[in-house]
């Protein structure tokens, strides 16, 4: 399965409590929302072993297993949660392989089509962290390999070890820290999956939203889709109204002038 780009996916992390520690308070509503995501033809759902300590994957399986054709489930390993306030990278290869096995069980799957190293662990050689994922891929347990929150240097180092299908970094109109990574992935034809894709309130964004009769979220997503061809934003929401609004951004066209004005939002 190729990672879809030029369209909008769904980030499932928010289907949890505020700390992403326990599952959602209203589980039936979260299950209904996930079924709507699938019914609307969203091509990818993003989760991770640590979201609600695994409950996020269990929830996805409860809602959607057996998964419809054309829906890619992406998960991750390499972050741990010693407490609700902490996110600590652990890249021990044995641990990464164990976590992939647990994700397979929770997702009730024998294969995860896209599997990310959630964070590069600075205490473990990158070759060893990716080596675990390569072994999982060779065994057919995962498909494509992704990276999350990496620099251009880390991406290039990873590419010396194995092929990388997707990079998932924080990126939106107002936070373009990872602009060089986006440019490098576009050059290499690797999917760039921005998390936190919706920009904070800003007079330029809000003004253009008013011109288009659209919302700030839609302008944020339309800007991302126009910014580069290899983009797959994964906005997260607990609301069906917001879900439909976000997906409708694929049909929103910014004029050249509007795109240029939006470039100024982060001094770009
Ligand atoms: N790789 C990583 O390290 C990493 C880190 C963080 C997140 N992620 C992934 O990225 C996904 C997206 O991140 P995120 O969910 O934190 O951030 P997000 O998509 O930028 O925003 C989520 C917030 O925006 C609100 N929202 C969504 N659509 C909206 C709309 N149309 N209008 C108004 N508000 C809207 C949501 O509230 P409502 O529920 O009220 O809509 C929620 O509070 C996550 O689900 C997760 O899968 C990955």
Question: What rounded mean pLDDT belongs to the chain?
Answer: 97
pTM: 0.98
Q: Are 109 and 66 in contact (CB under 8 A)?
A: no
**Is 51 noted as a catalytic residue in this protein?**
yes
| Digit-coded pLDDT (tens) for 109-152 | 999 999 999 999 999 999 999 999 999 999 999 999 999 999 99
**Quick check: 36 pLDDT over 90?**
yes
Ligand 1 atom closest to residue 116's alpha carbon, by position in its atom list: 1
Q: Are 145 and 115 in contact (CB under 8 A)?
A: yes
Q: Is residue 237 within 6 Å of ligand 1 at its C-beta?
A: yes
- Can you give the pLDDT at residue 234? 98
What does each C-alpha distance from 241 to 3, 133, 192, 246 come to in angstroms? 26, 37, 26, 9
Crossing angle of helices 152-159 and 126-138, in 10° steps, is 50
- Can you give the pLDDT at residue 238? 97
Q: Are strands 88-89 and 79-80 parallel, antiparallel or unpaired?
A: antiparallel
| Domains of the chain with bracketed CATH | 10-200+231-236 (3.20.20.100)
The band of 264, judged by pLDDT with boundaries at 50, 70 and 90, is confident
Q: Which residue minimizes the CA distance to atom 45 of ligand 1? A: 11
Q: What angle do CA 232, 237, 242 make, to 5 degrees?
A: 90
**Quick check: 191 pLDDT over 60?**
yes
Alpha helices in 108-145 (DSSP H): 126-138
Interval between CA 197 and ligand 1 midpoint (Å): 7
């Amino acid at each position: 399965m190729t990672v879809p780009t030029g369209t909008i996916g769904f980030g499932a992390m928010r289907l949890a409590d505020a700390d992403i520690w326990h599952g959602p308070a209203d589980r039936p509503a979260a299950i209904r929302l996930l079924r709507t995501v699938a019914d609307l033809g969203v091509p990818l759902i993003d989760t991770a072993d640590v979201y609600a300590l695994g409950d996020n994957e269990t929830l996805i399986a409860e809602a959607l297993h057996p998964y419809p054709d054309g829906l890619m489930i992406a998960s991750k390993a390499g972050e741990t949660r010693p407490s609700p306030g902490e996110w600590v990278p652990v890249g021990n290869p044995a641990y990464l392989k164990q976590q992939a096995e647990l994700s397979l069980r929770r997702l009730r799957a024998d294969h995860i089509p896209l599997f990310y190293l959630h964070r590069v662990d600075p205490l473990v050689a990158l070759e060893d962290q990716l080596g675990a994922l390569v072994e999982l891929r060779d065994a057919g347990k995962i498909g494509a390999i992704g990276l999350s929150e990496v620099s251009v240097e880390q991406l290039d180092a990873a590419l010396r070890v194995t092929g990388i299908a997707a990079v998932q970094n924080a990126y939106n109109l107002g936070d373009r820290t990872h602009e060089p990574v986006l440019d490098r992935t576009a050059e290499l034809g690797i999917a760039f999956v921005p998390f936190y894709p919706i920009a904070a309130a800003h007079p330029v964004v809000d003004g253009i939203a008013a011109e288009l009769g659209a919302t700030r979220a839609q302008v944020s997503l339309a800007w991302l889709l126009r910014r580069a061809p290899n983009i797959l934003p994964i906005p997260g929401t607990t609301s069906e109204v917001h879900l439909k609004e976000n997906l409708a951004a694929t049909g929103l066209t910014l004029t050249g002038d509007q795109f240029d004005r939006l470039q100024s939002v982060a001094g770009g």
